[in-house]
Structure 1
Amino acid sequence: MRSAESWTDPDRLRRYRARVFAERQGLRESFADAAGHQQRVLRDLLDFNSGTEYGKQHGFDRIRTLDDFRKAVPIQTYADLEPWIERAAGGERNVLTADRPTVFFTSSGSTGAHKKIPVAPRFMSTTFFPFYYAAWAPLIEHFPDVLSHPGAVLNLKHDPLAAPPTTASGRPHVGASQVDFGSAFDEPLSAEPGTGAPWATLPVPVAANDHLEKMYLRLRLAVESDVRCVIGINPAMVAVLPYQLRQWWPRIVKEVRDGTLGGLPYGSPKPARAAELEQLAERHGTVRPAHLWPNMRALFCWTTGLASLYLPRLREEFGAGVTALPAPVAASEGPVGVALDRHRSAGSLVVTAAVHEFADADQDLGPDTATLRPDELEPGRDYHVVFSHVGGLYRYAVGDVVRIVDHQDGVPRLEYAGRGNNRSDHAGERLRDAQVIRALQSALVATGLELRNAACRVTTDRQRPAAYEFAVAATTPWSQDESARFTVRLDQALQRESADYRTARAADRLAAPSVRLLHPEAFLRDWQDQVASGIRPTQVKDRLFRQDPRLWARLTEPAGD
């Protein structure tokens, strides 16, 4: 159901809206008995999977309560479950779940071997689809015109594959954005907004791993459409779009004039439209998404992390009054939170999807770490996420850290606060990326400065203590005095955020940090280079800690002529 015709069918749109709002209402109603729903999710996953190899080994048939479950199953990572998952990927039945996996999702990380996350029909129907549909409710409720025509949404993450890679048993091993849920799971309404656009399935041949060219081709087609919403999920994909537009502008205008797409004939030449595009650039001195798409209404992506520092200015590139709506707090392995209103960053815990447990983010997570229930979480605190669901992941440490914003309707609202393993600890400072980002935000507010992105590393020198070096792409030029004041404020903020950092500074194990100002487009160039190397755009995310000398050099060295 990804064809343009489906999105022009009024009945299809009516049913789609009804499903989206019904799923949101269902989640809201579940909050009145959040604890009861958590117990029912636990009971369901135990009953459904008690006959599996994993269920038998861990005595699922004898477990009655969450405490029983905690005693029977340790907290575990993908590495702990990998032998079981590989057996399922090889075609063995009844390993982790009674359901046979239909596909295996890849992880969203960009380093190391891709994980194989088993995805079976029962998981999709009970865990995935309710939150998935509900996630679109704020967008289509408040900006209904984004569904006015198939090309109204530029969905940057949509990337179908004609011949997807497979596991040893022949099951597709792909990203969630590469799966046709309609055909794979009999969900004809599941196609996302933007998947009926003319560029959703590219009409010209392009290599499957030539991700940069695919992005160009979609943008080339989108300049001829009335785009009103951009969906990126990964905010780095949204941030790079204005840069790509400037980089590819001459090629885009030429192809519109010539009636080509990727150098191949496509439609008819449009010299009048090409002239309009050229006039836009001449009139404004540059070209921005706001110039091309004056009816732009919304961006849909994660709004926390490093994106929280650059999204306010980035929104202006897309137009005055454009709203940034937060994508769900979720991973390939399962959902955690989903925004049911227009909150800028937080979503409500999806209590019907999984059994959720949490642990203080400042402690190391191990097999026997004590966990908290959702009702025990405190606003303003960061926590590791552990979840269990019917899809075969039990007490699974997904690796994400969330920050509790508040409690609403009886459940916590939370926002993504980074990866649990994204920690810098050279001198006992144990800095998490969320702490550094909050310190950066504090220093920016105190000095009135803005930035496009930032990264840091620890520098070492035998003659003096180690120190943090920050690479910053500023929105506007900073003077030496401003940089100096920002650096002082940043050091103070880091000490407030982390007692361990404060101790390391006081003991002279760490010297004061320094700031290196980069070219304004340094991070955009770096992102583009990574995609050009063959990494899928969804997997090239903002990265704060860059201790690898090669990664640091690639980011900070001046671009060649």
Structure 2
Amino acid sequence: MFRNILYKAFSLKGSREVAAFNRDSGNCAATQSQRLLQIVSKNADTEYGKKHDFASIKCVSDFQKAVPVCDYDTLSERIERIANGEKNILTSEQPFMFATTSGTTGSRKLIPVTASYLTEFRKASVTSGYHMLKHFPGVAQGVALSIFSPAEEGRTAGNLPYGAISGRLYHSEPALIRRHISPLPYEIFLIKDYETRYYTLLRCALVLPIACIYTLNPSTIALLGRRLKLYGERLIDDIKRGVISPPGLMPDAAHAAIGRFLRKDLARAKFLQDLWEKDQFVADKVWPSLSLISCWTKAAASFYLQDFPDLFGDVPVCDITYGASEGRGTVFLSPERQALAIRSHFFEFIETEKMEKGSHETLTASQLEMGKEYYILFTTSAGLYRYHINDIVRVSDWFNDTPCLEFLHKGGNVSSFTGEKLTESQVTEAASQCARLENLSLRFFTVIPEFRPEPHYQLWFESQKMLNEAQLFQLAERFDQCLSESNSEYEVKRSSMRLAAPKAFQLAANTYENLRKQMVANGMPDAQIKISHLNPKPEIKALLKERITAIPLPA
């Protein structure tokens, strides 16, 4: 098949980049130094380059002395000028778009994207894709169900588009790849109506040999699995009749784009109907070729994986690698191993303990220590220099001379009434363990610090099972135990009664899904829906509080 030829061509091309990565990973310091000097020399004549004397930078230490650690607020005025059409501000190469990112705090940010930056990003993607195919060869036996967001959400005052980098990466794929490997039409992801978009996605995917589901957010994948069950009979009937009957309005452009997927297919409809009647209408059965699900699996995202066995059977789930709109952090080597993307950007690190004491003393990649935790800084071809993304990573291994990293959580999202310093990773671990021990399936949760009447934590959660007062008390007790196991300082504070016992509050059914719908309707891409599992934004907290249910009495 032609698809096999494309995969073989990719493997051949990928092997060259993999060989280069393997070679360069043996001398991490030299590779990173070269990458840095390439970036600064290219941008020496920009406004930012002149201000920080890029022309005189000859080594990493020169760069660290000349350029301050920065964040988005530091660069926002310059980025706004670029958005208004000014040139040669941060980069000599004019950005062709801005990637939008909401992060976990504040309003939406505009991240410049240049052609060189996209090349940096793709280097890591090629190496990752090569190794992923090596570990999961079944992926090459079908097509990918990739979920992304629109590449253009609007235009700046300078007429530069802004949108999701995932959509832009899709557009930059060769037409043959879009046709034969990632064939779901882009127009599907422009459908505004939430239910119609996912119905259309499933209607098209059900007539394809899906071998891989690939998207960032695991909650999106779980939602897709639940919609498969919800709309099963309707989807089967559509396939039988060669039509589509979505729950909402279908834009003309989307309907035209999916025309080739709407052929009447009686054999496929019968196969699916048989599964439905046997109560086996789940992803791994409707797509026997499904070999891999690739998404975020680390930190807070891991919570949403608990429903995957019910929705997707024993299909392997693999982390999609660490990265963001601001830069690509790691490359995939194996299911449990991701190396720093040293051929893509220049990286620096700050020990978490020193950062918390106000120090910005940085280390290069080759100076890191096994098992230690660091804040990571990016320097890229898109004009982010020593950019503090506020992510905390841990060194989990080494590949040759290059560190392997694991994303832990966002920095700053730490709650500490009396020195317990609870992190989002810890509350996620505790809530997941608590749910397993109580045999309770949680759809969503967040932990709220409350000062009154005494400092304590509240577990707000959504579950299909409605708990009574006694069960809520038992759940809170179990959560207390799990938090104590995750954080020894929390245990000390509870034992000394400086922290009161936690409480559990149940949210109404479909709270999380309705909140997602509302956020998507307000223009937030699916992949950027990140509701914190610890102390969420005030506006999110207010919406969730309205959904707390009355407590049923014990039977």
Q: Same fold (TM over 0.5)?
A: yes
Secondary structure in structure 1 of the residue aligned to 2:182? coil
Structure 1 window deviating more from structure 2 (384-393 vs 257-266): it is 257-266
Structure 2 partner of 1:252: 235
1:300 aligns with 2:294: yes
Q: Normalization by structure 1: what TM-score?
A: 0.84
| Cα distance in 1, alignment partners of residues 534 and 139 from structure 2 | 37
Q: Normalization by structure 2: what TM-score?
A: 0.85
Per-residue CA deviations over 1:404-430 (Å, capped at 9, x if unaligned) read 212232222111112123333455544
Secondary structure in structure 1 of the residue aligned to 2:370? coil
| Cα distance in 2, alignment partners of residues 513 and 164 from structure 1 | 42
Secondary structure in structure 2 of the residue aligned to 1:339? strand
The offset of 1:395, in angstroms, is 0.8
Structure 2 partner of 1:361: 352
Structure 1 window deviating more from structure 2 (401-410 vs 360-369): it is 360-369
Letter in 2 for 1:338: V
8 Å CA contact retained: 2:476, 2:502 = no
1:399 aligns with 2:390: yes
| Cα distance in 1, alignment partners of residues 175 and 238 from structure 2 | 34
CA distance 1:465–1:485, change in 2 (3 Å): closer
1:385 aligns with 2:385: no
Secondary structure in structure 2 of the residue aligned to 1:136? helix
Secondary structure in structure 2 of the residue aligned to 1:455? strand
1:469 aligns with 2:458: yes
8 Å CA contact retained: 1:522, 1:555 = yes
Structure 2 partner of 1:491: 483
Structure 2 partner of 1:233: 216
| Cα distance in 2, alignment partners of residues 486 and 380 from structure 1 | 29
Letter in 2 for 1:216: Y
CA distance 1:459–1:389, change in 2 (3 Å): same
Secondary structure in structure 2 of the residue aligned to 1:303? coil
The offset of 1:213, in angstroms, is 2.1
CA RMSD of aligned residues (A): 3.4
The offset of 1:279, in angstroms, is 3.6
CA distance 1:110–1:458, change in 2 (3 Å): closer
8 Å CA contact retained: 2:372, 2:395 = yes
Structure 2 partner of 1:200: 185
Structure 2 partner of 1:413: 404
The offset of 1:175, in angstroms, is 0.7
8 Å CA contact retained: 1:384, 1:399 = yes
1:454 aligns with 2:440: no
| Cα distance in 2, alignment partners of residues 557 and 195 from structure 1 | 46
1:128 aligns with 2:140: no
The offset of 1:241, in angstroms, is 1.6
Structure 1 partner of 2:276: 281
Structure 2 partner of 1:435: 426
8 Å CA contact retained: 2:427, 2:534 = no
The offset of 1:107, in angstroms, is 1.4
1:213 aligns with 2:213: no
Structure 1 partner of 2:553: none
Letter in 1 for 2:346: V
8 Å CA contact retained: 1:522, 1:556 = no
| Cα distance in 1, alignment partners of residues 229 and 24 from structure 2 | 47
8 Å CA contact retained: 1:105, 1:119 = yes
8 Å CA contact retained: 1:245, 1:288 = yes
Secondary structure in structure 2 of the residue aligned to 1:18? helix
8 Å CA contact retained: 2:217, 2:301 = no
Letter in 2 for 1:351: I
Match of 2:107 among 113, 117, 123: 113
CA distance 1:271–1:460, change in 2 (3 Å): farther
1:512 aligns with 2:501: yes
Aligned residues: 532
Secondary structure in structure 1 of the residue aligned to 2:363? coil
Structure 1 partner of 2:162: 173
| Cα distance in 2, alignment partners of residues 534 and 119 from structure 1 | 20
Structure 2 partner of 1:45: 39
8 Å CA contact retained: 1:153, 1:193 = no
CA distance 1:78–1:247, change in 2 (3 Å): same
Structure 2 partner of 1:4: none
Unaligned runs of 5+ in 2: 551-555
1:24 aligns with 2:18: yes
The offset of 1:231, in angstroms, is 0.6
8 Å CA contact retained: 1:52, 1:95 = yes
| Cα distance in 2, alignment partners of residues 448 and 349 from structure 1 | 38
| Cα distance in 1, alignment partners of residues 522 and 549 from structure 2 | 18
Structure 2 partner of 1:36: 30
Structure 2 partner of 1:372: 363
Structure 1 window deviating more from structure 2 (366-375 vs 84-93): it is 366-375
Match of 1:64 among 58, 65, 75: 58
Unaligned runs of 5+ in 1: 1-6
The offset of 1:36, in angstroms, is 0.6
The offset of 1:34, in angstroms, is 0.2
The offset of 1:397, in angstroms, is 0.4
| Cα distance in 2, alignment partners of residues 363 and 251 from structure 1 | 57
The offset of 1:52, in angstroms, is 0.8
The offset of 1:314, in angstroms, is 0.9
The offset of 1:434, in angstroms, is 1.9
